[in-house]
Amino acid sequence: MYEENLNPTSITKGLTTLFIGQNVLYYPSVTSTNDIARQQALLKAPEGTAVIADRQTTGRGRLKREWVSPQGNIAVTVVLYPARTNLAYLTMLAALAVLYTIEKATGLHCQLKWPNDVLINNKKVCGILLESHVAADFVDYAIIGIGINVNMKLADYPEIASIATSLVDEVGEEVSRLTLLHNLFQEMEKLYLRLQAGESILAEWRNNLVTIGKKIHVRSGDEVFAGTAESVADDGSLLLRREDGTLVKFMAGDVTLR
């Protein structure tokens, strides 16, 4: 069993990034790391500041859903000040960074589900929540919340066991959260610097989407649309070919694979 002492010193020790994860705020328990990170962004904390908690009491995902976040998992939010042209790609960046991190640390094969879920064996192992504030012609800040199910055993959470998994359940032994955090910060920074240099990560993200080519339902507001996920547009929106042949574009929504 990993008896890891997560604290700013242990998290930054040996970390080779230029800025992501070099300034750490650690809490044993918070309502939500996104809440703290938003406050830090408004105070103009250094770019790459990471807010980390052992547990969240009111963690949340997209569409205001609860995100179960007990001790033993990773709950982290990173503060960024991106160019406006890169804002649409930050969720892709985070999903790819998590995928690469998990595969590097465990050897497990991951896939991505549009728009922001990381799956192992068709079950959710990570959720991502991007929040931002956009001024007239620039991004004031963006915060990327990442929750990874690391050492929680889903048998203890029967209410989500049918749709979620964890690294300990998949690997059969506990996984080092410090190793995961180090890898995550490195992968995020590499992808972020590529975006800043004008490089696209769209094809990389699209090639890992399990959603493409599948029969799906998309819930958008109070409506549900059925069809085949044909592709994704350059801005990451989903292109759904409905059964009547029409093509519908979704910037956001809740996807169920059929």
pLDDT tens digits for 54-100?
A: 888 865 544 445 556 678 899 999 999 999 999 999 999 999 999 99
Q: Answer yes or no: is 1 within a domain.
A: no
Whether 170 and 140 map to the same domain: the answer is: yes
Whether 220 and 167 map to the same domain: the answer is: no
Which CATH number fits the domain that encloses residue 243?
Answer: 2.30.30.100
Q: Is 249 exposed, middle or buried (CB count within 10 Å of its CB: 0-12, 13-18, 19+)? A: exposed
Whether 183 and 60 map to the same domain: the answer is: yes
What domain range is 225 assigned to? 211-257
CA distances from 34 to 16, 116, 233, 234 (A): 24, 16, 28, 27
Q: Answer yes or no: is 238 within a domain.
A: yes
Q: How many domains does the chain have?
A: 2
Which CATH number fits the domain that encloses residue 106?
Answer: 3.30.930.10
Q: Are the C-beta atoms of 59 and 147 separated by less than 8 Å? A: yes
Whether 154 and 249 map to the same domain: the answer is: no
pLDDT tens digits for 20-45?
A: 999 999 999 998 999 999 999 999 99
Domain boundary among 185, 206, 227: 206
Instruction: Read off the pTM.
Output: 0.93
